[in-house]
Amino acid sequence: MPSLSIFVLHGPNLNLLGQREPGIYGSLTLADINGLLEAEGRKLEARVTVLQSNHEGVLVDAIHGSLGQHQGIVINAGAYTHTSVALRDAITAVNLPTVEVHLSNIYRREDFRHHSYIAPVVIGQISGFGMQSYLLGLQALIHHLKKDEV
């Protein structure tokens, strides 16, 4: 039985992975990524729960609902990374270790993508490694949580 529960949140437009700008985001679908995350979680003895929403309020409510349910969060907030004080405040409010991930390197893209409202309130950010960004984020978060158990 997994001792850790990790919540993975996917923001707007990530439901279109596999067909949306594959040159930037790759050819894997969100279902592919979720399957890989769940398998990696099992290997690392953690339960992975996933949610995707195009709606900021749904993501905020999900972060609030993670209290008492999960020990950490991996979030790809998509475009909300660059616009949402509400997501930042929700992450701060629940005070759960959180890792921000992005498929593309946001710092090699348009200038408006270079700023993250989320980065200052998470334990780390991983971007630019495609689907591997999610796996690295999950691994880093679980490592962080397990070191606190010792």
Of 80, 102, 117, 134, the catalytic one is 102
The annotation status of 10 as a binding-site residue, yes or no, is no
> Known binder of ligand: residue 104?
yes
Question: What angle, 0 to 180 degrees and rounded to 10, lies between the N-to-C axes of helices 30-43 and 131-149?
Answer: 30
| Residue 144, C-beta contacts closer than 8 angstroms, at least 6 positions apart | 72, 97, 123
Q: Is the dihedral of CA 28, 118, 127, 101 positive or negative?
A: negative
User: Which tokens in the block code for residue 42?
Assistant: 């099992």
Residue 57's CB is within 10 A of a number of other CB atoms, namely 9
Catalytic residue of the set 10, 25, 70, 134: 25
76 is in an annotated binding site: yes
Query: Backbone phi, then psi, for 18, in 5-degree steps?
Result: 100, -25
Residue 96 backbone dihedrals phi, psi, to 5 degrees: -100, 140
Known catalytic residue at 25 = yes
Residue 82 assigned as binding residue: yes
**Is 134 noted as a catalytic residue in this protein?**
no
Question: Is 59 marked as a binding-site residue?
Answer: no
User: Is 42 annotated as ligand-binding?
Assistant: no
d(CA 71, CA 84): 23
Residues involved in catalysis: 25, 102
Annotated binding site for substrate: 76, 82, 89, 103-104, 113
